Amino acid sequence: MIRTLAVLTLVVGGIACRGRPPADANGAAAVARLVDSLTPAVEKAVGLKFTHKPMSAVRSRDQVRAYVLHKLDEELPTAKARGLQAAYRLLGMFPDSLELRPLLLDLYTEQIVGFYEPDSSTLFVAANADPKFLTVVVAHELVHALQHQYIPLDSIMRQTNDNDRLAAATAILEGQATLGGLQVMVPEQNLYAMPEFWETYRDNLRAQQASMPVFSKAPRILRESVVFPYLAGADFLRWWAGSELRDTMPFGSRMPTSTEQVLHPYRYGRGDVPVTLAFDQPNDGALYEDVFGEFDIRVLNAELSKTAEVTTPIAIGWGGDRFRVYDTPDGAALVWYTVWDDQPSRIRFVTSTVERLQKKRPLGYRLETTQPTIDGKPGVRLVLAPVRWTGWDNLPTVHVVKLAP
């Protein structure tokens, strides 16, 4: 689900808004007029033209919550929710008492002011949204409507079994919508070349998020995952605007395929693509399978080291990974393979992340690692599972998938 955070508007407080909505701005007719008035400015900010007029509608808060529940049922089925929940619990990123789906329902309902829904190609606004926030929210969602007329948003957002790639794609979509939506508010300025603006935006975004009750109490991995696409995505698009690719769009084959590429655009620029791993045993009873990626590993490291912020100054040397979660009578079991760019990167992972996990492993569990070579690259196999798990005697193996050039 592509969603807009209410806090996107706070950074433009004090800036004169284009198309400021009238007092009845929450009505369907007023929203439609606002959409029409903002459409030319959005086209100019993004550099694309609408091929047909975008549709809009208004939904009550109950309807918004029902929509969020529907999308959770569609995109986060019970098995996936249980698998993610189990993996994050084992790594110490979720408390054992946390139930993921109810928390996400409350979190997204709290966050949403407006959203673009690819299935119906309609921009929706929450009926009880603060009118003074609507202009930037509608501008942001209009960017998504414009994107959808050029790329298949629905299929992009339904990628499975590679959450890292999905996070990267989401960052591009939200980063472009963030930049485009805010540019509409200040058309006379070039937001791409205003680092001080983005520092203020970043601070305001995080401060306002921290004031929201559900968000502020959510685990760090969820808080960071909500903010990541807007901040990291905008940073990547700002880099794009200054690169030799500036006259193109980061769509299709140009779309980044990992959070490493988004966090470190120079790696994207030099063609550093992730190593795709696949398990050799396709039907061995796993509850869930996915990819963590650099972003999740960075959040994990911040959690394990109890640092206040998740920092991303330099790449960690992540090359690729894949994990599986198994359901056992004594608790969940995790088998996680990672591939690293070089030996120093693998050593850093083992001596920091793995050693800290070893000290925090749950009671009745054992953690073991090996350091295989995977397709000529340094690898790590990490297994965190109940001591009595029968799978210890028959651990799955992986291979590198050779993608077509």
DSSP string, 211-260: TSHHHHHS-HHHHHHHHHHHHHHHHHHHHHHTSTTTTS-S-GGGS--SHH
Write down how long the chain is: 405
Identify the H or E element spanning 209. Answer: helix 195-210
Q: Which of 174, 115, 118, 171 is nearest to 148 (CA)?
A: 118
CB atoms within 10 A of CB 246: 11
Per-residue model confidence (pLDDT) at position 158:
78
Query: Which residue carries 């030996």 as its tokens?
Result: 343
The letter for the amino acid at 262 is V
Task: For the chain, report the end-to-end CA distance as a whole number of angstroms.
Answer: 30
Sheet containing 122-126: which strands, arranged edge to edge? 2-5, 112-117, 122-126, 55-59
List CB contacts of 360: < 8 A, sequence separation 6 or more: 92, 304
- What the block records as the tokens of 55 is 């549709």
Per-residue model confidence (pLDDT) at position 195:
85
* Cβ–Cβ < 8 Å for 40, 60: no
Query: CA neighbours within 13 Å on the CB side: how many for 59?
Result: 20
Per-residue model confidence (pLDDT) at position 370:
98
Q: Which of 140, 121, 145, 119 is nearest to 129 (CA)?
A: 140
Q: Are strands 318-326 and 365-370 parallel, antiparallel or unpaired?
A: unpaired
Per-residue model confidence (pLDDT) at position 252:
93
pLDDT in tens, the chain (405 residues): 333 333 333 333 323 334 444 445 568 999 999 999 999 999 999 999 999 999 999 999 899 889 888 888 888 888 889 999 999 999 999 999 999 999 999 998 887 888 999 989 999 998 877 777 789 899 999 999 999 999 999 888 877 789 999 999 999 999 999 999 999 998 888 888 888 888 888 888 888 888 899 999 999 999 999 999 999 999 999 999 999 999 999 999 999 999 999 999 999 999 999 999 999 998 778 999 999 999 999 999 999 998 878 876 789 999 999 999 999 999 999 999 999 999 999 999 999 999 999 999 999 999 999 999 999 999 999 999 999 999 999 999 999 997 655
| 3-class secondary-structure state, position 162 | coil
Per-residue model confidence (pLDDT) at position 133:
78
**Main-chain dihedrals φ then ψ at residue 225, nearest 5 degrees:** -70, -30
Q: How far apart are CA 228 and CA 206, in angstroms?
A: 11
Identify the H or E element spanning 322. Answer: strand 318-326
In sequence order, what DSSP letters do the residues of 323-354 get, joined into one string? EEEE--TTS-EEEEEEEESSHHHHHHIIIIII
- What the block records as the tokens of 155 is 């299929």
- What the block records as the tokens of 225 is 């995952």
List CB contacts of 163: < 8 A, sequence separation 6 or more: 290, 291, 292, 293, 296
Per-residue model confidence (pLDDT) at position 208:
83
Q: How far apart are CA 97 and CA 201, in angstroms?
A: 34
Q: How far apart are CA 324 and CA 332, in angstroms?
A: 10
Per-residue model confidence (pLDDT) at position 188:
87
Per-residue model confidence (pLDDT) at position 26:
60
In sequence order, what DSSP letters do the residues of 22-75 get, joined into one string? -TTTTSHHHHHHHHHHHHHHHHHHHT---SSPPEEEEE-HHHHHHHHHHHHHHH
Rounded to two decimals, the pTM is: 0.91
